[in-house]
Amino acid sequence: METELLAELRAIKHRVPHLAGGLVASVDGLLVAHDTHGTEPSGLAAMTAASLSLAQRLADTTGQGDFRESLVRGEHGYVATYAAGGSCVLTLLAHPDANVGRLHLEARRSAQRITALLNDTLLPKDAREARDY
């Protein structure tokens, strides 16, 4: 599964100009796969989980429903996090000149593919076969 996730991270990096890298982490902050350079991935996965917890609570408290995504804009670029199923998140790092609309579009698609990969890996074989009918 890690190979497929890494391939998806590399593919989105090619589809989104000015994307610096990304990772897939569990909602508990455990690193699953990464394509980050110059950023320590385990620490970023842990910080993503902390940020996710706050974003989930904010969405819930304000009546906005389940967490879908968050975007942090810093002086030197963006950190974007997207739900990837109930157990993982996709976090992407982008340079300041990235097209945020394109980032969202491609990241949402990647998050769906990552969710499918995770579901295919986590579901028992008989449940996958029943789902395919």
| Across 6-10, 111-115, 121-125, least confident range | 121-125
Q: Is residue 97 part of a domain?
A: yes
CATH of the domain at 50: 3.30.450.30
Q: Is residue 125 part of a domain?
A: no
The 3 state secondary structure assigned to 20-38 is EEEEEEECCCCEEEEECCC
Q: Is residue 127 part of a domain?
A: no
The per-residue pLDDT for 133 is: 45
Q: Is residue 20 part of a domain?
A: yes
Q: Is residue 18 part of a domain?
A: yes
User: Residue 4: which pLDDT band, with cuts at 50, 70 and 90?
Assistant: very high
The per-residue pLDDT for 71 is: 97
Domain residues for the domain of 62 are 2-120
Residue 124 has pLDDT above 70, yes or no: no
Query: Could you tell me if 30 and 45 are in contact, meaning their C-beta atoms sit under 8 angstroms apart?
Result: yes
How far is it, in rounded angstroms, from Cα 69 to Cα 108? 9
Please state the domain count of the chain. 1
Q: Is residue 41 part of a domain?
A: yes
Q: Average pLDDT, whole number, for the chain?
A: 91
Structure tokens at 69: 């995504």
How far is it, in rounded angstroms, from Cα 96 to Cα 51? 20
Q: Is residue 126 part of a domain?
A: no
User: Residue 122: which pLDDT band, with cuts at 50, 70 and 90?
Assistant: low
Q: What is the pLDDT of residues 57-68, one digit of tens each?
A: 999 999 999 999
Enter the pTM of the model.
Answer: 0.88
User: Comparing 128 with 42, which gets the higher pLDDT?
Assistant: 42
For residue 89, give the nearest of 39, 36, 37, 44 by alpha carbon: 44
Q: Is residue 130 part of a domain?
A: no
Residue 128 has pLDDT above 90, yes or no: no
User: Residue 127: which pLDDT band, with cuts at 50, 70 and 90?
Assistant: very low
